[in-house]
Amino acid sequence: MEIKKLNIIITLGFVAIIGILIAQLLWTRQAYNIEDEKFNQTVNIALLEVVEKLSGGKTSFSENPVQNISNDYYVVNINNEFHPEVLEYYLKTEFTRLQINTDYVYALYNCQSDRMMYGKYVSKHQESPNMAIKFPKHKNLVYYFSIRFPDKTTYLISSLRFWYVLTFALIIILLVYVYSIYTIIQQKKFSELQRDFINNMTHEFKTPLSSILLASEALTKQQLIKENPKLQTYTSIITDQGYKLNNHIEKILNIAKNDASGLSLKPQKIVLLPFIQEIADTIKQKNENLSVEIEIDSNTSIIADEFHFTNIIYNILDNSIKYCETKPTIRISSFKDSKGLYLKFKDNGMGIPPKNIPHIFDKFYRVNTKKSDEVNGFGLGLFYVKKIVQQHNWKISVENNKDEGITITLFLPS
């Protein structure tokens, strides 16, 4: 993905989540205000009912006897004498009926002492604590009481806990999104640095390597070399190892190219039996002890990129040979069902520890064994195989055999 497109996607996603979060905060604030207004209305109704009962139904107020002095403080004019215990009973009755389930404290005006007499702290969840709460005196009122809800804010927030949980979840999602984007950008930066390094390194290697191969080929044609078996062996080793190193470099370049833009495939029809037989014969020339059994129907054919499919077969067979401690024997078979074609490669190698199987297709991953230390490689062979398989929309799996070795299965959907 281009950096410009990635930046656009990141920006749009970030703006969308910020917008949702702001909308959620506004909705939560509006919900709190509605809940606060609903609470005030309910308290007013309850206190009006208390006034009605304390006055014996003989109310004659020109204005509302319930005054909301502050957010959690109310003054109620009775205009008639009343007993504190009766007041508390009516308060409990009406608050319970209207489901006002929060703590409150009340006090009433005493005409004789001309001050507010502390009544009681009424709690729904615990015993009434002894609290020193001061209530101001109000002018122009004689028979009245005051009531305060000290935990009103907590009560309203608890009734809106779903909104706050949702808002908190959105904040967490935003933080995860920001962290994910940061990680993606860092990984992309590291990937580009790695790809540039690999490209530069491999290209720098290819120039002197080409010179070495040309020189070694020229040496093999010299009469002096042909007449000396030892020198012929040495030049042969130089040439073979040079080509092997060249294959490794090509593999790294192909993987770097695949990471950057994907490999361009040229699908064509391939008849499996002669195709795989030719690859096996080529490998046998370098490995005289190798035994390859091919059980594939002569009419079986597939659609694949010839060059990359050759590399898949070569890499699988090469690994089976390298990681075998005895005479390598490889059995290649195929069968079809309604889902597609299964191409199996069974060897008699040393196998793979079960815990390592999920990682063998990772880039630069090599199973940590004594044999792995003896075998040269970069851990790119099976990674390359997996990439090519995925680009063909195939599947690949690995399992240990019951006796010895592993079986690699390529699945080609119909």
Best CA proximity match to 334, nearest among 254, 258, 276: 276
The arithmetic mean of pLDDT across residues 377-403, rounded, is: 84
Question: pLDDT tens across 26-55, in order?
Answer: 887 888 888 888 888 888 888 888 888 887
Residue 334 · residue 343 · CB < 8 Å: yes
- What are the residues whose beta carbons fall under 8 Å from the beta carbon of 309, sequence distance 6 or more? 270, 275, 302, 388
pLDDT in tens, 130-156: 555 567 777 777 777 888 888 888 888
Whose CA is closest to 92, among 62, 115, 48, 123?
Answer: 123
Categorize the per-residue pLDDT at 394 as very low, low, confident or very high, splitting at 50, 70 and 90: very high
In the chain, domain spans: 3-159, 162-261, 267-413
CA gap 77, 145 in Å, rounded: 7
In sequence order, the 6+-apart residues with CB closer than 8 A to the CB of 220 are 226, 232, 235, 236, 239
Residue 411 has pLDDT above 60, yes or no: yes
Interatomic CA distance for residues 192 and 261, integer angstroms: 12
Just give the CATH number of 267-413: 3.30.565.10
| pTM exceeds 0.85 for this model | no
CA distance 409 to 400: 11
